[in-house]
Structure 1
Amino acid sequence: MCKHHRMGDFHKISLLLLVFFITSCTQKTESNSAISEVKEFEYVDKVYPLLDTKNSRWFYFSSASRPFGMVNLSPDTQIDGAWGSGYRYDIDTIKGFSHIHAWQLSGVSVMPVTFSKDSEQAIYTDFYSKFSHKQEEVSPGYHQITLERYQIEATLSSTQRIGFHQYSFPKGREKGILFNLNTILGSCENSEGSLSKIDDKSISGSVVALSTHRRPKPVKIYFYAELDKSFDEIRNDKNTGNYLLKFNGDTEKLLMKVAISYTSVENAIQNLEAELPHWNFKKVVKESKEEWNSLLGRIEIKGGSSKAQKRFYTDLWHALQGRRVISDYNGTYPDYSGDSLRIGNLPLNKDGRPKFKHYNSDSFWGAQWTINTLWGLVYPEIMEEFSSSLMQYYKDGGIVPRGPSGGNYTYVMTGASSTPFIVSAIQKGIVTEKLDSLYFAMKKNHMRGGIMEKAGYEHDTKMGGGLSYYIDKGYVPYPLPDGEFGSHQDGASLTLEYAYQDWTLAQLAAKLGYKEDEAYFKERAQNYKNVFNAASGWMQPKDVFGNWSANYDPYQYQHGFIEANGAQATWFVPQDIEGLAKLMGGEKKAVQKLAVQFKTAEKLGFTSGNSHAAELHPEYRRIPINYGNQPSIQTAYIFNQLGRPDLTQFWSRKVVNKVFCGLNENTGYNGDEDQGLMGSLAVLMKIGIFQMNGGTDEDPVYQIGSPIFNSITIKLHPDYYSGETFTIFANDNSDPNFYVREMKLNDEVLYKTSINHSDITVGGKLKLQMANKPSSGYKK
């Protein structure tokens, strides 16, 4: 049966899983046993949305949102700047409820208010309100909060494209809703905001999200709002340009639906009619919870502490966050790849529905070690949809993007990071059609004229990526002699990144029978060797004349290396760890070198402080392994490929217990949580499987680590995979029992510490016997 015919059955099965029980186990390490405590719960009840919100970022926090929803409705306590903005836990003032928290996009902020006749004019500029966390409730798809200044209880939920507001007003004062349409919101300024009355219960309007350093073109946002009660009038303040909807003083309860579209008011109205034709607020909250439960329930864990389980499902929830839908319900979407806005139309199925959704997304830089694996195994339909969206950008603008925003190219980060993502989807059998077209689209990015030529945010030129030097000389020089053309012009890192991405493209060329291309890109994939200095033992920048950088310090941050130092970046050769080890003098020496780096990094907690900004701090920038940013998050699993799986088990468990164990507002990802990448990493390390090369080889390989739970059951998607479930059992698992002594796949002994994608997707059981001493009998 084809996958699209079976989607409905799978969703029905997923919803039935919501009522299941799960065992919550408390480990007794003294006796290496576990006492099981059975408790009924819904998966969303295990999510802690406030994780790391003291270090929040505009698109980081989510509450009243559906998975990947166009609308991410939540309170804003800090509105100025992409970093440290949005919902910040330690700021006690609400500045509005905005509907869009996305990569380089923001918009449509509203605030319910009360006022007197004397204070009405002042409300346009003085409308913030204190609040208390004691009067707040947050869960996936839901946020309730009390505005202390007004004594208004505001409750928020949403569908995918509609924000749903429920307000309870106090008696005896004038009431209104302020539409703060002309303001700074996170990463960009909102301007040209306008609002018009349609009738006594509905309005429409628009606002422009002005261009940013990262998104070079403005994006227009349209909205349509309906209320369940009539408003008396709309007032517009000439100084701020903002609008106030005034209500009868007797109004105590009010519901408002706000539909968003990036194409037109008419499509915003269609979005509302399709997704939210009723006024049942409780129903929307229930349906949102069910949708989240359905996705979170794809992985069922048993064992571990209650805290560990809550953190796990919070990580899994983050893996489905950040990237946002930009297409309407009917499949229309904004295309800004040309000189002006074009309204595009996604291809439709026979039933007239879009075949996929179109997305706004931060870079896939680092996705090879995170969402490539998690989405490809647990959420293949999401991976397919994103692959289709990336190709839609190619059809419109001629380049496969690495981080599109609102129909714009942003050229965020470097390289062709979408290549491993799409190749992984193909190798796993998720994307199966028009593979030759996909190959040539991606190949374009790897050649002159493609996205590899552009450094980070290099919008108008194509020199900063140094691709011509990479092709002609086999490396990207540092400094680049042509000048400064953007961000991240760090030649040694660029060389390593391009070499890996070339290898992934070579795998697809081999699959499709393009032998000359396969040989060409495999040869380019060896370019990593050109920036390894045997004398220093590290990857090291070279100038354009081939001279190694003088007075080289492998712990100097961002000196030839992107968001990393040389010690961290030296291990960025996921396509050829054995070849890297040979350069270092053999596997034994490579193991010794990496083990010393881990021991040193452990003293600093394996991260550069607890935020991305701390990486530049003198205390943290010299750390040799950093699990707070993408460049070295694969390193614990390198030991597996060097014949020391015991060290993979040892250090991966140490990292999880230090970096990804907290469950509070002050910490969580300790750095750069780029739209689910670090959440995905945490999930993979906790279930004990990892793909070193991003799952881009034929029948992709999963390295086995040290799972922290007694059992992990992955419910396989029947539209993509033949098996029903794959369960990993970690018998006698405990804090001291983190080593794997014996492994059996479907009751057959395994003699290597890896399994293939095909081993998992047919369903089955992987049984690990955990112990406090390592095994010495496993092969690579």
Structure 2
Amino acid sequence: MKSKSPRINNLIRICILLFSLVSCTVKQEISARKEQLVDKVYPLLDTENSRWFFFSSASRPFGMVNLSPDTQINGAWGSGYRYKTDTIKGFSHIHAWQLSGLSVMPVIISGSKNGIYTDFYSKFSHEKESVRPGYHSVELDRYGIKAELTSTKRVGFHKYRFPGNKKGHVLFNLNTVLGSCENTGGILEKTGSNELSGKLVAAPTTRRPKPLTVYFKVRFNVSITTVERDPGTGNYLVALDTSDEAVLMKAGISYTSAENAANNIQKELPHWDFNRVIEDSGDEWNELLGRIKVEGGTEKAQRRFYTDLWHALQGRRIINDVNGEYPDNTGKQFRIGRLPLRADGTPEFNHYNSDSFWGAQWTINTLWGLAYPEIMHEFTYSLMQYYKDGGMIPRGPSGGNYTFVMTGASTTPFMVSAIQKGIVKDSLEIIYKALKKNHMPGGIMEKAGYEHHTHIGGGLNYYIKNGYIPYPLPEGMGFGGHQDGSGQTLEYAYQDWALAQLAKKIKYKEDYAYFMKRAANYKNVFNEKVGWMAPKNVNGRWKNDFDPYQYENGFVESNAAQSTWFVPHDIGGLATLMGGKEKATEKLLDQFRSARELGFTSGNSHEAELHPEYSRIPVNYGNQPSIQTAFIFNQLDHPDLTQYWSRQVVERVFSDLTPSEGYKGDEDQGLMGSLAVLMKIGLFQMNGGTENNPEYQIGSPVFDRITIHLNKDYYPGRIFEIKTVNNGTDNVFVNEVQLNNSPVKSFKIKHEDIIKGGVLQLQMSGKSHKDKN
């Protein structure tokens, strides 16, 4: 065989070199892609137990739009995307606390159009589905349509591939039961060759008593041929001039006007580059997830960690438009408000729809304060905007109005924590005045859950006069939910203590003394004879035949055994009531040993809490009232037990990575995800960070290194690292603690030490001289 010419050989060498360079570049891109934290998130976690606002896919952090498929559409619980349901009933844009809206479905018409309005659901398969933060794709088996979803903060972006030679339609299901509320009054009109404008009403619910109009503007990259309305359902079928090209659809929403919906599209999504929006969404999620970098542990543990961190940024939703206009439903008449604007015309902060801050003292108070102070700052001023509009700081607003969800003044610890951490520095006296109003007659403490028209169920008059809230209330029921006097007393006492710390900070000495006295009211519901917090009637008599394991017997979403430890501001005082720290330790240790037999939760979902057996668990990490208990051992001078039991809880409750398991209870808009993150990095705040220079307790981190990137706009340091030496599944005990190479005698660290930046090093071991397990 003849040898190739030198010229040919040179060309071959050049081609090989170019191929190697291209191959190397591709490998680098793939490698970089693999390093994206967003790819570690598993959105399908616990989706067999979803509630309306629980699942998220095509959504930005705190986005007004939270676009995803719905497989169940009736009710706030057991609705939205449910993994085991194999039928898609539409793609809707709003999955928020007590809000839903704008459900659409791409369809192919076979035969008559008449039946499509009531018969349009489609089977789908998880094998043909892809889900990650900011993106969702799925194939509708009935139609052979591939649907892809992504979004900006206020605009849903759809991509549909209709099968060849099939005319594409989109059904706008504007009048329907959808999740937590009914959609009514839906109207749609064609306003351009490729544009639609419309609105619908999110009807009132028992929790959100006023309606809210959802306005929307829709634009296609193809022409609209017809828009037909079905007189029976009131819904609309939009025919499109489809071809082999993918159909793109933008849907901008607003709670103020169609014009603002259009403006939201113009500002956030002026182009048609679908892949660019997916990338931008991934970048936004990556930036927030990257605030905490973990190294070591298993790949599964890291994936679960970033899924928890992603959950911590879920559920609560922006309600203002890009120009700062927002719905204000706090008064007798609906009005459009406007947030204060910067010089460039953008709002100084965003306004939010949010479930209760009940339990936030042990979750987002700490996590947001560490890694996301700008979010804590925004929420504080959003809550103050409700006060300016309606005269009251809410504990869970929806649709621009109060819902009175849960009990007490749960936003007080959140806002005080933001102040004590230096996140909020201005207008402290005004904020204090607003918070104090909630703790006095006329404020939110007077109202039980969803008590919209009366102010009796909160029992505040009894709390102020007698030092406790009786159970049952002598007036009887019918004044809202969660009328559980002893549980309410415990909450109010802690919240009073938190408010007292702010009074002390701004030198309101009389107020400080007054609220500190009220903070001791927890002692009035401790029955020394039985050794538990217990229900007490209006005459001061303890409940007969008291059972500390009976669920909601004077305690909010818990039993007495769980809620007895709800004294986060005075564990020492509680221990004294129990006969000293050692007796308190033994009592709590017995509870943990018993709870371990049931996996530390009341079953595998929130619905299971009422189960006769599961509800009797003495420690429940599936709901908020007792999620602090592992760290109480630290306060009782047994840090080794905190380290041991917090690891046990993480292993049993927060380590799954499947659709059937995940939080085993009530994941209220990121609270349980936040808790899991804190337990895994080994930092926790017992009183929610409400004292001056807040204290963090050190637990037992599950990773070798945790790097917290501090926000330079709020904190002087750049990074704070937690390094563990000799860590492992068996080495859960912390034997030595060093901060910046200096020994730390206690298992505690101050906020100012963290925000300066530095290194916290923990020497881990499999043994502890205080091991009582």
Q: Is the TM value for this pair above 0.5?
A: yes
Structure 2 unaligned runs (5+)? 1-24, 26-30
Does the 8 Å CA contact 1:208/1:220 hold for their aligned counterparts?
yes
Larger Rg, first or second structure (1 or 2): 2
Does the 8 Å CA contact 2:222/2:241 hold for their aligned counterparts?
no
What residue number does 2:685 align with?
691
What residue number does 1:344 align with?
337
What residue number does 1:120 align with?
113
Q: Which amino acid aligns with 2:260?
A: N
1:725 matched to 2:694: no
CA 1:643–1:249: 2 relative to 1, 3 Å: closer
1:368-405 Cα deviation digits (max 9, x unpaired): 00000000010000000000000000000000000000
What residue number does 1:403 align with?
396
Q: Which amino acid aligns with 2:398?
A: S
- Alpha-carbon shift at residue 231 of structure 1 (Å): 1.2
- Alpha-carbon shift at residue 174 of structure 1 (Å): 3.1
Q: Which of these residues, 550, 555, 559, is aligned with residue 561 of structure 1?
A: 555
1:163-186 Cα deviation digits (max 9, x unpaired): 000000002333200000000111
Secondary structure of the 1:150 match is: coil
- Alpha-carbon shift at residue 353 of structure 1 (Å): 1.2
- Alpha-carbon shift at residue 341 of structure 1 (Å): 1.2
What residue number does 1:375 align with?
368
1:419 matched to 2:412: yes
Q: Which of these residues, 133, 143, 150, is aligned with residue 150 of structure 1?
A: 143
Query: Matches of 1:592 and 1:547 in 2, distance apart?
Result: 28
Q: Which of these residues, 588, 591, 594, is aligned with residue 597 of structure 1?
A: 591
Query: Matches of 1:42 and 1:615 in 2, distance apart?
Result: 37
Counterparts in 2 of 1:715-754, with a 5 A limit?
715-754=709-748
Does the 8 Å CA contact 2:252/2:261 hold for their aligned counterparts?
yes
1:493 matched to 2:487: yes
1:430 matched to 2:423: yes
1:319 matched to 2:307: no
1:458-501 Cα deviation digits (max 9, x unpaired): 00000000000000000000000112201000000000000000
What residue number does 2:450 align with?
457
Does the 8 Å CA contact 2:149/2:158 hold for their aligned counterparts?
yes
Query: Matches of 2:538 and 2:308 in 1, distance apart?
Result: 43
- Alpha-carbon shift at residue 333 of structure 1 (Å): 0.1
Query: Matches of 1:774 and 1:222 in 2, distance apart?
Result: 61
Q: How many matched pairs?
A: 742
- Alpha-carbon shift at residue 351 of structure 1 (Å): 2.0
Query: Matches of 1:483 and 1:550 in 2, distance apart?
Result: 18
Q: Which of these residues, 28, 33, 48, is aligned with residue 54 of structure 1?
A: 48
1:549 matched to 2:543: yes
- Alpha-carbon shift at residue 340 of structure 1 (Å): 2.0
Counterparts in 2 of 1:208-357, with a 5 A limit?
208-248=201-241, 250=243, 252-357=245-350
1:531 matched to 2:516: no
CA 1:189–1:40: 2 relative to 1, 3 Å: closer
Query: Matches of 1:514 and 1:252 in 2, distance apart?
Result: 68
Secondary structure of the 1:480 match is: coil
Secondary structure of the 1:621 match is: helix
What residue number does 1:654 align with?
648
Does the 8 Å CA contact 1:144/1:154 hold for their aligned counterparts?
yes
Query: Matches of 2:50 and 2:586 in 1, distance apart?
Result: 37
Query: Matches of 1:276 and 1:595 in 2, distance apart?
Result: 55
Secondary structure of the 1:669 match is: coil
Secondary structure of the 2:397 match is: coil
Does the 8 Å CA contact 2:186/2:198 hold for their aligned counterparts?
yes
Query: Matches of 1:104 and 1:215 in 2, distance apart?
Result: 7
What residue number does 1:5 align with?
none
Q: Which amino acid aligns with 1:158?
A: S
Q: Which of these residues, 749, 765, 768, is aligned with residue 755 of structure 1?
A: 749
Regions of 4+ moved over 4 Å: 37-40
- Alpha-carbon shift at residue 40 of structure 1 (Å): 5.0
What residue number does 2:90 align with?
96
1:248-305 Cα deviation digits (max 9, x unpaired): 3646420000000000000001100000000000100000000000000000000000
What residue number does 1:620 align with?
614
- Alpha-carbon shift at residue 423 of structure 1 (Å): 0.1
1:214-245 Cα deviation digits (max 9, x unpaired): 10111110000000000111000000000010
1:694-721 Cα deviation digits (max 9, x unpaired): 0000000000000000010000000000
Query: Matches of 2:441 and 2:530 in 1, distance apart?
Result: 32
The sequence identity of aligned pairs, in percent, is: 65
Q: Which amino acid aligns with 1:65?
A: S
TM-score calculated relative to the size of structure 2: 0.95
What residue number does 1:506 align with?
500
Q: Which amino acid aligns with 2:318?
A: V
- Alpha-carbon shift at residue 147 of structure 1 (Å): 0.2
1:572 matched to 2:572: no
1:401-421 Cα deviation digits (max 9, x unpaired): 000001010000000000000
Query: Matches of 1:119 and 1:255 in 2, distance apart?
Result: 26
Does the 8 Å CA contact 1:170/1:252 hold for their aligned counterparts?
no
What residue number does 1:134 align with?
127
1:360 matched to 2:358: no
1:680 matched to 2:677: no
Does the 8 Å CA contact 1:740/1:775 hold for their aligned counterparts?
no
Does the 8 Å CA contact 2:159/2:249 hold for their aligned counterparts?
yes
Query: Matches of 1:505 and 1:157 in 2, distance apart?
Result: 42
Structure 1 unaligned runs (5+)? 1-18, 20-36
Secondary structure of the 1:145 match is: strand
Does the 8 Å CA contact 2:353/2:397 hold for their aligned counterparts?
yes
Counterparts in 2 of 1:9-20, with a 5 A limit?
none
Query: Matches of 1:145 and 1:60 in 2, distance apart?
Result: 19
Q: Which amino acid aligns with 1:100?
A: I
Secondary structure of the 2:183 match is: strand
TM-score calculated relative to the size of structure 1: 0.94
